[in-house]
Amino acid sequence: MRPPEQRKKKKETVKPKFIISGGGTGGHIYPAVAIANELKTRFPDAEFLFVGAKDRMEMEKVPQAGYKIKGLWISGLQRSLSLQNLAFPLKLVSSLQKSLQILKEFKPDVAIGTGGYASAPLLRIAALKGIPCLIQEQNSHAGITNKWLSSKVQKICVAYEGMEKFFPSEKVRLTGNPVRQDLLDISLKREEAVAFFNLKKEKKTLLVLGGSLGARRINQLIEKSLLFFEKNNLQVIWQCGKFYEETYKNKGSQTVQIHPFLNRMDLAYEAADFIISRAGALSVSELCLVGKPVIFIPSPNVAEDHQTKNALAISEKNAALLIKENDLDSNFEMEFSALLASEEKQKTLSENIKKLAKPNATKDIVEEIEKLLEKSR
């Protein structure tokens, strides 16, 4: 029989296994992949398995990031009466059974959820099996999946203060959201950004972000405001979204660039003097890091109006402006004009939003996962 020291050493060399679930939107997928990438740097021999919803974008995005994924037959409840809702109980039972099978076969050391439909059954079964669980909540208003799981998991990483109103306070750690690492030093890229977008150095630049598909109401606003921008000597980088490319591609000019999407977000952020954006959780986290004056126009068409709540959490700290879609026609030009006219206001917004940045979020989340891993062994 081996001495105890040798037996202990062998146990410590066992490859850790992590099972991760998050999907439905990029806001759930990106944090999940970022966490996996950071775990991989700390545990190069670790095994990873992602679990997603069969017909959602994670089934494409996760393999592109280099990870295996299995799909569950699951979806959320619709707000209106539909055939999908009638199938929900069947889908839930099916997903719970499949989750049990996946967990039995993979035998993870830790289960991690970043929100989305699939993380509910997977982490619920993982918790029942005694597997240490961590969830990450990106928004200032907790999602229904994470609220449901909160009593069953060991640790909850959040991006906003005051999340104890949704979760048990002893489990909560304020970490922030994972952000692109190429945003950490964008101030060193000013010359590169100006050249990349072929901008005039003497003009101020407005960056407009509507998300990968685009935001209809923001696009309508920008089209209507083109003369206003010209009068204020602004050049515009307008990311209209793939869905709206055909509608707006002919609206460009010497001072207005139309892009369906932006591959170099680091350079777009650095080129900007002002930014108009939706208020999805990851966009907000990135904009805190970037530290430019921001006007948030939250989408009203999201669950529990969480974008408005995200934007309010920033604007209430005098760190950004918030204009609701219903108020754009009456307030936009007035509020933007006041911002353009006040360098002091620009400086205040920049300084205050930068104070809210959490550049080490991914590392801090992974530290909590490491603690759970140590306890599981």
CA 280 vs CA 95, 285, 297: distances in Å: 28, 9, 10
- Measured CA to CA, the distance from residue 141 to residue 27 in angstroms comes to 14
Mean pLDDT of 256-282: 95
Q: What is the pLDDT of residues 227-251, one digit of tens each?
A: 999 999 999 999 999 889 999 999 9
Q: Which residue has the higher pLDDT, 117 or 161?
A: 161
Q: Which residue has the higher pLDDT, 332 or 10?
A: 332
Find all residues with CB under 8 Å of 95, minimum gap 6, and list them.
Answer: 72, 73, 74, 118, 120, 121, 122
- Measured CA to CA, the distance from residue 43 to residue 36 in angstroms comes to 10
Mean pLDDT of 91-112: 91
pLDDT > 90 fraction of the chain, expressed in percent and rounded: 75
Mean pLDDT of 171-187: 89
pLDDT, residue 206, reads 98
Q: Could you tell me the pTM of the whole model?
A: 0.86
Query: Per-residue pLDDT for 95 more than 50?
Result: yes
pLDDT, residue 117, reads 83
pLDDT, residue 88, reads 58
pLDDT, residue 10, reads 41
How would residue 373 be classed by pLDDT, with cut points 50, 70 and 90?
very high
How would residue 180 be classed by pLDDT, with cut points 50, 70 and 90?
confident
Mean pLDDT of 66-84: 71
- Measured CA to CA, the distance from residue 161 to residue 174 in angstroms comes to 7
Task: Quote the mean pLDDT of the chain.
Answer: 90
User: Could you tell me which CATH number the domain at 13-178+359-376 has?
Assistant: 3.40.50.2000
pLDDT, residue 118, reads 87
Q: What is the pLDDT of residues 336-370, one digit of tens each?
A: 999 999 999 999 999 999 999 999 999 999 999 99
Query: Per-residue pLDDT for 285 more than 80?
Result: yes
CA 230 vs CA 194, 204, 269, 297, 316: distances in Å: 19, 11, 21, 21, 31
Query: Per-residue pLDDT for 265 more than 70?
Result: yes
Mean pLDDT of 203-223: 93
Q: What is the pLDDT of residues 115-155, one digit of tens each?
A: 888 899 999 999 999 999 999 999 999 988 899 999 999 99
Mean pLDDT of 97-124: 94
Which CATH homologous superfamily contains domain 182-355? Glycogen Phosphorylase B; (3.40.50.2000)
- Measured CA to CA, the distance from residue 296 to residue 133 in angstroms comes to 34
CA 83 vs CA 55, 89, 96, 292: distances in Å: 16, 12, 21, 45
Query: Per-residue pLDDT for 80 more than 80?
Result: no
Q: How many helices (H) and strands (E) does the chain have?
A: 15, 13
CA 90 vs CA 44, 190, 324: distances in Å: 39, 54, 39
Residues of the chain with CATH 3.40.50.2000: 13-178+359-376, 182-355
